[in-house]
Amino acid sequence: MKTAGKIVAGVVVVLILSLLVARITGLNPHERIPGLWLSGNVVTTPVTDWSYTDKIETDMVQTSTWYGLPHSVTTWCIAYDGQLYLATSGATVREWPRNVARDPHIRLRIGDQLFDRSLVVVTDLAEKAGMLQARAKKYHQPYPPPAGMTMTVYHVVAD
C-alpha cells in the first residue's frame, strides 16, 4: 500500500511539474494539433484597424476549458471594415467554440503578439455576409459557402 501511494505521489508531482513547464514556456498549437497556453508578447494598447492581418494566414486562439486548463488552436483571422473576425464551420463539434459559448474571453496570438479579447457571435446578416465575402477573398473560398455548411462568425472585441 505504501508503494502504491509513493507511485501515485510521484505521478502527481511529474504532472504538476510538466504543467508548470508548459505554463512558463507556453504550449502553442501546431497546425491541427491543439495546445495549451499561448506564448508571446502581450499587447495592451487598443487596435483601431485590424487590416494588417490581411497579410497573415493564421492566428491562434486560446480559450478556457471547464476543467481549468486552456485550450488553444490555430484559426483563420479575417479583417472586415477594420474589425477582426474569426469563423468556424464546426461550432457544434469543435472544442474551442463550445469553450467560447461558456466563456467568451480569449487570448489571441497574431505573429508573436498576444491580445486579450472577447468573442461575440455575429447575428447581423449583412455584417456576417460582408465578413464571409472578405473570408472568401482572402482564403480563395467559395462565396456563399456551400449549401448545408453552417458558419458561425465571431467578432473580436476589446474586453
For residue 110, give the 3-state DSSP assignment. Answer: strand
pLDDT the model gives residue 142? 87
Go through the domains of the chain in sequence order and give each one's CATH number. Answer: 29-158 (2.30.110.10)
Q: Are strands 41-42 and 113-121 parallel, antiparallel or unpaired?
A: parallel
Distance, in Å, from the CA atom of 136 to the CA atom of 145, rounded to the nearest integer, reads 8
pLDDT the model gives residue 1? 63
CB neighbours of 49 closer than 8 A, spacing ≥ 6? 82
- The answer to whether the beta carbons of residues 50 and 79 sit under 8 Å apart is yes
Q: Where are the beta strands (DSSP E) in the chain?
A: 41-42, 58-64, 70-80, 83-88, 105-110, 113-121, 152-158
pLDDT the model gives residue 153? 95
Average pLDDT for runs of 10 along the chain of length 159? 75 70 69 90 96 95 95 95 92 86 97 97 96 95 86 94
